[in-house]
Amino acid sequence: MKNIHIGIVVMSTSLFAQVAAADELTLRGSFASGFANDYIYALEDQTAETIDTDYGFGGLGSANYKIDSLYGDVGLDLGLQLGLLTGSDDTGGELNSDCDAGIETFLGLIEDCQDRADTENTTAFAEVSALATYTIGSGNTELLGGLSFLKMRNDVDAEYLFPGGFENFVDRDTEFSGFGLKLGARHTIPLQNGMNFNLEGFVAQYRGDRTLQIDDEETDQGAPSQFETVKFEDTADVTTFELSPSISMPAEWAGQNATMEFGVSYKLFSGVVDTRNVVEHGGVNGGAEIDAFSEGDENDDISATSIFAGLTIPLN
């Protein structure tokens, strides 16, 4: 028993020595544009005016703690990536005094009866991964694979204004969280004066729970007339893809063997958000009930293009 304990201590000491021998930290920050896919938010009838709200602007950041040799030629890459983007859109027209807030206006059966529609869109995500690394060839190519967790939320607040004082406010919150397998590769091409061209790509497949909650409120002349909440829960499969080319160079001001990089990145979340409009309304001003109808995709995509700067610092 004593020999087993000594063996465990020796193995732990050896493993700690390997961990401490080749650590480095990479930090990245970026300005992101758009999550560029349009989000079609429609009124409850096919003939009514629609509004597109893009995914806005914001920032992405990441931190990676890398161990070159965790066990033999196998290393470890622990990563955290965060993103936050906001956008807004509006559409409107001249006040049409021939329209009132009756059921025909709400259904969109009378043209140009919608005065204005405004939206605000917020998207946030966090991705945590633990990937094994393996260097092949001459040492310029690295393969990665392991487990990852994704948490994502998209909130859209829409406001429709009609003649006669009728207003419709709709809040749509889509939330996803799930675990999956993430694979990737990094390749470095040496240039002149200590500079390198780097190409990095990842793909991941997640499976998890997705919740869509729609809160719908109607007011007439400022007085609440109807409030409804609809909630959907399902299991969703989400695929992510990321490609990041960059140029790196020595950054001695940050420490010995430190490097800085500048690059661009494209990130896609496929199937993560439900953009359908499925709110069901009761009668308006004594009208008949409006049946729910679907506009948009059940498994829609979100994407972002960003410009980033990074710094890699050896920790030993």
Query: pTM of the prediction?
Result: 0.79
| The total number of structural domains that make up the chain | 1
Q: What's the rounded Cα separation, in Å, for the pair 139 and 118?
A: 53
Q: Please list the pLDDT of the chain residue by residue as tens digits (316 residues).
A: 334 343 433 334 343 334 344 589 999 999 998 755 566 665 544 445 566 777 889 999 999 999 988 888 899 999 999 999 998 877 665 444 445 444 444 444 444 455 667 888 899 999 999 999 999 878 789 999 999 999 999 998 888 776 667 777 888 899 999 999 999 999 999 999 889 999 999 999 999 999 988 888 878 777 777 777 888 888 999 999 999 999 999 999 988 889 999 999 999 999 988 776 655 444 333 333 334 445 567 788 888 999 999 999 998 7
In a domain, 5, yes or no: no
In a domain, 9, yes or no: no
Contact 100, 106 (CB under 8 A): no
Contact 49, 43 (CB under 8 A): yes
Q: Is 117 left (phi over 0), alpha (psi -120 to 50) or beta?
A: beta
In a domain, 10, yes or no: no
Q: What's the rounded Cα separation, in Å, for the pair 260 and 262?
A: 7
Give Cα separations from 297 to 25, 43, 97, 238 (angstroms). 40, 15, 35, 14
Q: What's the rounded Cα separation, in Å, for the pair 313 and 25?
A: 5
In a domain, 12, yes or no: no
- Name the DSSP class of 7: H
In a domain, 202, yes or no: yes
Q: What residues make up the domain containing 236?
A: 23-314
In a domain, 195, yes or no: yes
Phi and psi, residue 248, nearest 5°: -115, 155
In a domain, 102, yes or no: yes
CATH number reported for the structural domain that contains residue 170 in this entry: 2.40.128.100
Q: What's the rounded Cα separation, in Å, for the pair 67 and 25?
A: 9
Q: What's the rounded Cα separation, in Å, for the pair 2 and 251?
A: 49
Q: Tokens for 49?
A: 């005016």
